[in-house]
């Protein structure tokens, strides 16, 4: 890797990956491409904005011509493709944007890579890589007792978000098979950690609990998820980029499957212990609300392949990771408040939760 393009680099996982890459790769230039939609936040990268090997470019992956020019201008040899609409609830209310960004946007990035790397023969194929970041939600939902998903599990997406990511995964594979584009794909489980946009479950619960607001739990709260600390995710992606086999897919998970209600109760216990709010016990704030349509019941990732081939396993236990995450939000309320002031964020919360 010499010149790495990180799409969606101002978002939650993308910005964490840029921090990780700057710390671990001393000779890599990083170009951060982000459209700065509601979830993109350059303050996530304020500590590196003047770094000599980092550059931010505002742009949209749906702009095909701009993507073609970007790869040539910066002589990109590696693309790490995070840019996506990623919130299931938003996909239920407005699926069109998910199809446009996740499917057509990925198509544009693949075409730009094909034009520059394959048609123009800009550099040897063994020196380029298109890495696509995907999700476990493409596999659908597991029943109690069913085995965890492997890399060979057939896709069965249940939400517009999951379907759009499944489509983008298929496009990436097709470009590898048909055109010989060097690629890798990772399917990750639910991420959490620093800089997560405060509309997702864990930051919503932390921030509402601190302020004595209701803690909304969908349905009976017994939906099972695998929770992956974002720093562990970044380390896994880096390993796949540097040591993974071209044309391969790797599952990345936190190797845990608690119920959503357990996550909420654990956060409440942490806040009871370390915070000085007047809302203790925070569990009293839990409020069960109408479940979202088509809510998948259980996810479980089999991570044996990435462990066997690359030696990766998560460093964070869920207990340690949640404690660190709660502390991060408590210590970064200025960052949180800058987002919560935006009307788009307020409007979204009202639309999604008040009707429940």
Please give the order of strands across the beta sheet that includes 183-188. Answer: 54-58, 29-34, 3-7, 78-81, 129-135, 183-188, 248-252
The reported pLDDT for the residue numbered 345 is 62
Do residue 214 and residue 89 come from a single domain? Answer: no
Q: Which residues carry out catalysis?
A: 136-137, 161
Question: pLDDT tens, 106-134?
Answer: 999 999 999 999 999 999 999 999 999 99
Do residue 204 and residue 141 come from a single domain? Answer: no
Residues 94 and 211: their CA atoms lie apart, in Å, by 29
- The pTM assigned to this predicted structure is 0.95
The reported pLDDT for the residue numbered 340 is 79
Q: 214 lies in which domain range?
A: 197-224+258-294+317-346
Do residue 16 and residue 85 come from a single domain? Answer: yes
Instruction: Tell me phi and psi for residue 282, to 5 degrees.
Output: -65, -20
Do residue 48 and residue 68 come from a single domain? Answer: yes
CA neighbours closer than 13 Å in the CB half-sphere of residue 144: 4
Tell me, what DSSP letter sits at residue 142? Answer: P
User: Per residue of the chain (356 residues), what is the pLDDT tens digit?
Assistant: 999 999 999 999 999 999 999 999 999 999 999 999 988 999 999 999 999 999 999 999 999 999 999 999 999 999 999 999 988 888 998 999 999 999 999 999 999 999 999 999 999 999 999 999 999 999 999 999 999 999 999 999 999 999 999 999 999 999 999 999 999 999 999 999 999 998 889 999 999 999 999 999 999 999 999 999 999 999 999 999 999 999 999 999 999 999 999 999 999 999 999 998 899 999 999 999 999 888 999 999 999 999 999 999 999 999 999 999 999 999 999 999 888 776 566 666 666 766 66
The residues facing 30 across adjacent strands are: 4, 54
Instruction: Tell me phi and psi for residue 240, to 5 degrees.
Output: -65, -40
Do residue 174 and residue 322 come from a single domain? Answer: no
The reported pLDDT for the residue numbered 87 is 83
The reported pLDDT for the residue numbered 339 is 84
The reported pLDDT for the residue numbered 206 is 97
- Look up the CATH number of the domain holding residue 202: 3.90.25.10
Do residue 102 and residue 130 come from a single domain? Answer: yes
| Phi-psi sector, 193: left (phi>0), alpha (psi -120 to 50), beta | left
Total of domains in the chain? 2
- Look up the CATH number of the domain holding residue 135: 3.40.50.720
Residues 205 and 212: their CA atoms lie apart, in Å, by 10
Do residue 212 and residue 140 come from a single domain? Answer: no
CA nearest to 356, candidates 292, 284, 283: 292
The reported pLDDT for the residue numbered 341 is 76
Instruction: Tell me phi and psi for residue 127, to 5 degrees.
Output: -105, 5
Do residue 131 and residue 7 come from a single domain? Answer: yes
| 351 is a domain residue | no
């Amino acid at each position: 890797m010499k010149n790495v393009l990180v799409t969606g680099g101002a978002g939650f996982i993308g910005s964490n990956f840029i921090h990780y890459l700057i710390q671990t790769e001393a000779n890599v230039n990083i170009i951060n491409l982000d459209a700065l939609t509601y979830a993109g936040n350059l303050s996530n990268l304020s500590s590196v904005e003047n770094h000599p090997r980092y550059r931010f470019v505002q742009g949209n992956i749906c702009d095909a011509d701009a993507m073609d020019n970007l790869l040539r201008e910066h002589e990109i040899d590696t693309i790490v493709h995070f840019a996506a609409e990623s919130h299931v609830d938003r996909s239920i209310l407005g699926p069109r944007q998910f199809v446009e960004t996740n499917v057509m946007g990925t198509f544009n990035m693949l075409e730009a890579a094909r034009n520059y790397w394959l048609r123009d023969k800009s550099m040897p194929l063994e020196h380029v890589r298109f890495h696509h970041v995907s999700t476990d939600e493409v596999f659908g939902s597991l029943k109690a007792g069913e085995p965890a998903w492997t890399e060979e599990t057939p896709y069965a997406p249940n939400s517009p978000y999951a379907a759009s990511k499944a489509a983008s995964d298929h496009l990436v594979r097709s470009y590898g098979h048909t055109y010989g584009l060097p690629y890798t794909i990772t399917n990750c489980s639910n991420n959490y950690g620093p800089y997560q946009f405060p509309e997702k479950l864990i930051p919503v619960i932390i921030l509402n609990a601190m302020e004595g607001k209701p803690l909304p739990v969908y349905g009976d709260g017994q939906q099972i998820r695998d929770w992956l600390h974002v720093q562990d995710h970044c380390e896994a992606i880096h390993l796949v980029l540097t040591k993974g086999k071209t044309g391969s897919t790797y599952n990345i998970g936190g190797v845990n499957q608690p119920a959503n209600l357990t996550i909420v109760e654990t956060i409440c216990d942490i806040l009871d212990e370390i915070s000085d709010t007047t809302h203790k016990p925070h569990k009293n704030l839990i409020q069960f609300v109408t479940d979202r349509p088509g809510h998948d019941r259980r996810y479980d990732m089999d991570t044996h392949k990435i462990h066997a081939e690359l030696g990766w396993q998560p460093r964070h236990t869920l207990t340690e990771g949640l404690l660190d995450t709660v502390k991060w939000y408590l210590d970064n309320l200025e960052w949180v408040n800058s987002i919560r002031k935006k009307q788009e964020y307020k409007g979204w919360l009202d639309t999604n939760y008040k009707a429940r």
